[in-house]
Amino acid sequence: MAKDSLIILSGGMDSVTLLHYRKDRIALAVSFDYGSNHNAREIECARQQCEMLGIEHLVIPLEFMGKYFRSSLLEGADSIPEGHYADDNMKSTVVPFRNGIMLSIACGLAESRDLRHVMMANHGGDHAIYPDCRPGFVAAMSEAMREGTYEGIDIEAAFTDITKSDIARLGKELGVDYSKTYSCYKGREKHCGKCGTCVERREAMAEAGIDDPTIYED
């Protein structure tokens, strides 16, 4: 199968699962360093995964987001709320139009590399809180990319309509080592176990019947 795609790879569970799921089609993985608390740990996991699979990995700096955008994700570990994604306080973790910015850059990079698709790993659990993960956004952004490129580059978002537990089940089938992924929004050495993404990570692995290899502070 031809390698016709670029993947936006954070280094978390979802994008790493997609990396393994579509590895035969992925020519390039791109991580973005935008100044979040957990960026460095995620990017290191992304690098390790790509090295293991023999996929080229680029890290693109986006310092301006950390400097000018408002989000608890950019303001240090103590600013991160604890609880479930269903809680209203989790809206503070939204980084305004983050996926739109990253997809635009990925689209330009894909066209420069003669690739036809940009893969992203948003999922159904993201929809309620993150506007730039919702199906309507993905469809509109994909159409804009098609219209704005000679080759009609589009977005492939294979997980849009499934849950993180579904992703974990797929990862289990694929043999993904989730100890080499990172999720915690606080960005410490160990996962806090209490922020929205840690809670979701725990729930997904439990529902998928995975023996969670994550080391949590609690």
- How would you write the pLDDT of the chain (218 residues) with one tens digit per residue? 789 999 999 999 999 999 999 999 999 999 999 999 999 999 999 999 999 999 999 999 999 999 999 999 999 999 999 877 666 677 899 999 999 999 999 999 999 999 999 999 999 876 668 899 999 999 999 999 999 999 999 999 999 999 999 999 999 999 999 999 999 999 999 999 999 999 999 999 999 999 999 999 97
Give the model's pLDDT for residue 107.
98
Q: Which two tokens stand for residue 99?
A: 């996926």
Give the model's pLDDT for residue 36.
94
Residue 91 is which amino acid?
K
Domains of the chain: 5-207 (3.40.50.620)
216 Cβ neighbours under 8 A, 6+ residues apart: 190, 191, 192, 193, 198, 202
Nearest CA to 107 among 22, 115, 96?
115
Give the model's pLDDT for residue 126.
66
120 Cβ neighbours under 8 A, 6+ residues apart: 7, 8, 15, 99, 103, 138, 155, 156, 157
Give the model's pLDDT for residue 86.
63
Give the model's pLDDT for residue 1.
73
Question: CA 106 to CA 101: how far, in whole Å?
Answer: 9
Give the model's pLDDT for residue 125.
76
